[in-house]
Structure 1
Amino acid sequence: MADSRPEPPPRRFVVQLHRARRLHYDFRVEVDGALVSWAVPKGPSLDPKVRRAAFRVEDHPMEYVDFEGIIPAGKYGGGDVIVWDAGTWVPYKDPDPAAALAAGELHIELRGEKLRGQFVIVRTRNDDWLLMHKRDEYAVPGFDPAALPLSVLSGRSSDEVRDDPELMWRSDLPAAEAAVPLKAASHTADGPAADDDELAELDKLGSSGRWHVFGRELRVTNLDKVLFPGRPPVTKREILRYTAQIAPTVLPYLQGRALNLHRFPNGSDAAGFWQKALPGHAPGWLPRWREPESGTEYLVADEPAALVWAVNFGGLEWHPWTSLTDRPELPTYALVDLDPGPDTAWADLLALARLHRTAFEHLGVAARAKVTGRRGIQIWVPVERGPTFAETRAWVERLSRSIGAVVPDLVSWAWERSGRAGLARLDFTQNAVNKTLVAPYSPRPAAGAPVSAPIDWDELDDPGLRPDGFTIRTIGARLAERGDLFADVLGRPQRLPPLH
């Protein structure tokens, strides 16, 4: 008589091709809300004559089931990962998978794109496991998993994911947050920026009013006030419009960080001043962080409306801390600031930047450069949390001294305030708690509203490159064409190599 019992609900499974110290396949099946996992060096097979050695590893959270990207070097499992196969499974012998595992013999039926049919995974006497396919209609003699190398999730190869990853797994974060995007949202009209209706609402307001944007109601004021000269002049309304369009792109560089606002409440003709503490009239919904030592309450731009509020408040420049609020004493970036002297030629500053480019290439260190929107060039180097500010400052100083020794007639040092003022300063002192560099895409208080614009390293060879050549009116088209050239620094922690 046929078994009339209902089939148990399907569970998920995934096989990830994982290149860490050695290439292997991670075979994972859902059991009681977790992914029970084995490393299978030669990969699963559909050939019933083949027995694959499998080594039980720690269970993984369910959030890992569709992870495809990279695990940082130096972390457990560091390397690239693709979803080689995925689907669902049901038990076909023992209805209690947890009990079957404890007994050392799990029978499963896979319903994937590459793997189908009945498998059994059996614990051996020495506590290793064997993975085998049963003789059924899905059996394939001579099956070679290496002949099917592409991801079923993206269609990409391991090399393609390694060279252009979209996600990084951070095992130090909660599972729901551990798959960290490596690419900022692109700046497009149909993206997560303020939509046409929200921008039209801003355009229709008088000199002041209530603006509904990003799910918040903001009081905006002095909208027709000229903040920067230009043709035509740049008004506060235009700066707010730019902020609403750029906020989703710039937000990943600000989230989780205290924000120092360089305020120009009276426009660029007046001297700006640093606004650290939030004012008493700041709305209660604003994300904020209180510094333990001083008690100062900082704005944390964890949502785009917070940045729009800051600009209306006069915060026309955005300077995030280089550490996160949960561990403010540990930097996530090392900073190189190429600061021109009053008489420094732009060509000399470019030469210094190209020397840094060569140094980073030689060291195998990921770093990204941007023009400041004023006169300089800045380089951000993402670092793994662990080294202190003193250690990152010492590393940047050693790097700068090595480069300065090549061109001693071009550089002065952070502590030199006179005598060599015409030379470019290599300023490593910015690597300290609450020392900041301007965020990418931040406006600068000058004619035409230039922005701090990320550049490709190759653009250092472009004779047309200028430090203030990109403005709030031109950067959108550049983003649409080239994407966010700074995104490589996001979620890419790395250990700084020793310098000798």
Structure 2
Amino acid sequence: MDDLLTRYKAKRNFDITSEPAEGGESKDGQLAFVIQKHWASRLHYDFRLELGGAMKSWAVPKGPSYDPKDKRMAVQVEDHPIAYNQFEGEIPAGQYGAGKVIIWDEGTWTPLGDAAKGYRDGNLKFEMHGRKIQGHWALIRMKGKGEKQPPWLLIKEKDAFARPAADFSVVDEMPDSVVPLRSKTRTPAKAAKVRASETPGEKAALPATIQPQLATLVDGVPGDPSQWLFEIKFDGYRMLARVEGKTVQLFTRNGHDWTHKLPHLAKAIAKLKLKSGWLDGEIVVANDKGVPDFQRLQNAFDSSETESIVYYLFDAPFLDGRDLRHEPLETRRALLKGLFDEKTPPSLRFSDVFDVRPQDLVASACRMGLEGVIGKKKDAPYSSRRSPNWIKLKCTQRQEFVIGGYTDPQGTRTALGSLLLGVHDDKGALVYAGNVGTGFDQKTLGELKARLDAVAADQSPFSAKTDLDRKAHWVKPQLLAEVSFGEWTGSGRIRHAVFHGLREDKKPLAIKREKPVHAVAERGAASKAKAAVPRSKLHVTHPERVIDPSTGLTKLDVVRYYALIAPLLLPHLKGRPVSLVRAPGGIQGELFFQKHMEGKMPGVKPLSQALDPDHAPLMEVPTAQAVLSAAQMNVIEFHTWNGVKTAIDKPDRMTFDLDPGEGVAWESMQQAAKLVHEFLTQLGLESFVKTSGGKGLHVVVAVKKQHDWDTVKAFSQAVVQHLAKTLPQLFVAKSGPKNRVGKIFVDYLRNGFGATTASAWSARARPGLGVSVPMAWDELDSIGSGAHWTITNIQTRLHRGNSPWDAYAPQSLSKAMKLLDFKPSASKSS
């Protein structure tokens, strides 16, 4: 160990840095990993795997990506002690790697093969079990030229977790530390250790059949989510495996034996270290993007090419002669996970849980195109029925329907037009629920028509007439369609329906309209939590559209940026009229400055007409949804008034926009901002600075709502005129390019009624897409331009957030006006 850590120790002075010098313990039978987000000279991610008694470490500049096409550079660095897994804090200035460090992700990893050999050979493949990072990955060493820090590539392998970068960026959507998310309850691994010594479960003969536990659809997360485990909801078929000696059988949820259809899975299960038992899980097939695809699963069975089917296991009601159904879920899962090792066939997967806020997990699942999330009570037994201890949180409304008929095709469509769908009511009658005419490809249409012809009927199976009786061809109510849809109408019809495939694992009489209920709280009472599952997510049209040709940044990049910083942006927009700069053709195209409501923009609210009676209502952007819907409408910049809607006649801040003329060096801008700051301080006013995101800087003063717009504007003009008179070689008080060649115009016009300034955290519609960022005054010398931060490097600033402005508070202008010999009563609007 001393040899492994020699380089690590030589680079650090442990009398100064709080980093651990050594220590740390391995978990029994488990290898740890940690990914630390490190704001050193440049932001990067430190990727560490426990191997050989130390943490093998790589610096990954861009962080991990779920897209197998993204080959992330990973520079190998010195081994770290296992104790480093717990390090989160600030490495002092002057020390190696000085800067902030957070634990971005942590968990365990499982080698796929001989880990030591893979590491030596530069071809290390493994499975990750973290809060953010899951699935199969690889570290591949590149052919270097004897570098002291060998270059590797970190690559996501294709599996059910893989996602295109255009759809999902884990570093952008999950930027924070996982330390606050650590559960206070014991982990499944610890549960297994305790239970193993107690011989969990009761000795029992293996039953011939077993009914699966089913989940209840709910409208929101439980009242105490810390008591629950959350897994991805797979878009596939429920499957139970029965193992007795060398005999393996696979059963659907209805008890149909599908072993003959899935011989490769039966062989894989036979290789587990299991003498007997019942295993519960879901079979899926992933599409080209790595997302479970129900239609592809159906096609795999139709073509008898089932080798691509993967079995995700998530529960074990019976194991090795013991009935575990009355054991806590955590115990059952821990024992199930113990069946997996590096020799487990890749067609078998353990369904991992995600220790993050369920709201965030649902949102991420929806963005990734997954069906939703399953929640399970940690201490609940296994019940062979639909139980409130298992819940479904869906991204969109989706369920099975009974097919009662179909219509003829129209136009170029062949085989059929749409399917007539139904659900059973409480009395068992089949009630018409609408039709579905999208989601079919040519192959599906032909195969579906053949299946429908085989169950043709002379009369309608529905309990009442449908909207399409005259056009319909009736069928016996035997086939089930999996359909997603937008909503139920008041008349009991579905709208915006999309066909996903036929189901053969459920009984038609069991198909009823799914109605979400409230999730149970810890004691079984209805939850009062209103954090509902999003029924629909923002759809980004034309995500590939290039917004900034100089960098190649796209519309999707802009939307992702605003999704990331919305919590920081919203305090600066709160309660204020907001104007928008839109760039539908990119920043090199025509830009539109929008002050008033011009059609619906979800979440953006119209303000009172009285604020601007001669025009359409002004706008307020009060929520993250509003920010993102604006970004979807090609908004690049958010500009705000210096007043709030509740007291619009009296501004609550004063803004000075330092705008450099031609030939002004950045050092002069820094000097000018400091002089403005010093002068305002002499007037008794505390001021705050931010980058403009463009060429200049903004100096902001919070003021009490005591004076009208004309007075505040006139006073700000007096401040600027004093600066220009005192330092004419640097400042100018008149706008216009000719007036400020080689000088800086301090724009006071931003303080007039209806005038706006780019908000803090707003991007700017200029090459590079700079961002206006709040700073502390002592940081001014360390930045290189007003666009020092951009949407591509903003991650390096998120840890500071709005904290440089923590002291921002309203101030009276009375003393300052007196010192400047400014008389409000004599002020005039300019």
Q: Give the TM-score range, shorter chain.
A: 0.5 to 0.7
Partner residue of 1:266 out of 585, 603, 609: 585
Pair 197,469 (structure 1): closer, same or farther in 2 beyond 3 Å: farther
SS at match of 1:262: strand
Structure 1: which 5+ residue stretches go unaligned? 1-186
| 1:318 Cα deviation from its structure 2 partner | 0.3
SS at match of 1:260: strand
The question of whether the paired residues in 2 share the 8 Å contact of 1:373 and 1:470 is answered with: yes
Cα deviation digits, residues 135-181 of structure 1 (max 9, x gap): xxxxxxxxxxxxxxxxxxxxxxxxxxxxxxxxxxxxxxxxxxxxxxx
Distance 1:428 1:237 in 2: 35
The question of whether the paired residues in 1 share the 8 Å contact of 2:692 and 2:773 is answered with: yes
Distance 1:256 1:445 in 2: 24
| 1:476 Cα deviation from its structure 2 partner | 2.8
Pair 335,213 (structure 1): closer, same or farther in 2 beyond 3 Å: farther
Matching residue of 2:812? 495
Distance 2:785 2:614 in 1: 40
> What one-letter code is carried by the residue in structure 1 that aligns with 2:654?
A
Matching residue of 2:797? 478
SS at match of 2:672: helix
The question of whether the paired residues in 2 share the 8 Å contact of 1:412 and 1:423 is answered with: yes
Structure 2 residue 386 is the aligned partner of structure 1 residue 221: no
Pair 448,199 (structure 1): closer, same or farther in 2 beyond 3 Å: farther
Structure 2 residue 363 is the aligned partner of structure 1 residue 198: yes
Name the % identity.
27
Question: What TM-score comes out, normalization by structure 2 length?
Answer: 0.34
* Structural mapping, 1:103-122, within 5 Å: none
Distance 1:252 1:245 in 2: 14
Matching residue of 2:554? 235
Matching residue of 2:779? 459
Pair 199,286 (structure 1): closer, same or farther in 2 beyond 3 Å: same
Matching residue of 1:447? 767
Question: What TM-score comes out, normalization by structure 1 length?
Answer: 0.56
Q: How many residues align?
A: 305
Pair 219,213 (structure 1): closer, same or farther in 2 beyond 3 Å: farther
| 1:280 Cα deviation from its structure 2 partner | 2.3
Distance 2:583 2:723 in 1: 36
* Structural mapping, 1:343-492, within 5 Å: 343-416=663-736, 418-462=738-782, 464-481=783-800, 484-489=803-808, 492=809
Distance 2:802 2:599 in 1: 38
Matching residue of 1:286? 604
Structure 2: which 5+ residue stretches go unaligned? 1-174, 181-356, 371-394, 397-485, 487-531, 822-830
SS at match of 1:426: strand
The question of whether the paired residues in 1 share the 8 Å contact of 2:569 and 2:761 is answered with: yes
* Structural mapping, 1:305-344, within 5 Å: 305-344=625-664
SS at match of 1:480: coil
The question of whether the paired residues in 2 share the 8 Å contact of 1:213 and 1:305 is answered with: no
Cα deviation digits, residues 470-492 of structure 1 (max 9, x gap): 01122233121565323433xx2
| 1:360 Cα deviation from its structure 2 partner | 2.7
Cα deviation digits, residues 309-351 of structure 1 (max 9, x gap): 1111111100011111122221111111111112222222211
Pair 327,483 (structure 1): closer, same or farther in 2 beyond 3 Å: closer
SS at match of 1:239: helix
Aligned-residue CA RMSD (Å): 2.9
Cα deviation digits, residues 226-249 of structure 1 (max 9, x gap): 112355x21111211111111111
The question of whether the paired residues in 1 share the 8 Å contact of 2:720 and 2:733 is answered with: no
Distance 1:214 1:484 in 2: 31
Pair 481,429 (structure 1): closer, same or farther in 2 beyond 3 Å: closer
Pair 487,314 (structure 1): closer, same or farther in 2 beyond 3 Å: farther
| 1:222 Cα deviation from its structure 2 partner | 1.0
Pair 482,401 (structure 1): closer, same or farther in 2 beyond 3 Å: same
Distance 2:596 2:708 in 1: 25
Of structures 1 and 2, the one scoring higher in RCO (CA 8 A, sep 6+) is 1
The question of whether the paired residues in 2 share the 8 Å contact of 1:414 and 1:429 is answered with: no
Matching residue of 2:147? none
Distance 1:373 1:234 in 2: 16
Partner residue of 1:246 out of 565, 570, 574: 565
* Structural mapping, 1:66-81, within 5 Å: none
Distance 1:419 1:361 in 2: 27
Matching residue of 1:129? none
Distance 2:672 2:770 in 1: 23
> What one-letter code is carried by the residue in structure 1 that aligns with 2:599?
G
Matching residue of 1:119? none
| 1:437 Cα deviation from its structure 2 partner | 0.8
Pair 419,369 (structure 1): closer, same or farther in 2 beyond 3 Å: closer
SS at match of 1:461: helix
Structure with greater Cα Rg? 2
Distance 1:271 1:254 in 2: 25
* Structural mapping, 1:157-196, within 5 Å: 188=176, 195=360
Distance 1:242 1:197 in 2: 20
Cα deviation digits, residues 273-319 of structure 1 (max 9, x gap): 21122222434x53221442224222211111101111111111000
Pair 384,434 (structure 1): closer, same or farther in 2 beyond 3 Å: same
SS at match of 1:361: helix
Pair 304,352 (structure 1): closer, same or farther in 2 beyond 3 Å: same
SS at match of 2:701: strand
The question of whether the paired residues in 2 share the 8 Å contact of 1:218 and 1:309 is answered with: yes
SS at match of 2:738: coil
Return 306-315 or 411-420, whichever deviates more: 411-420
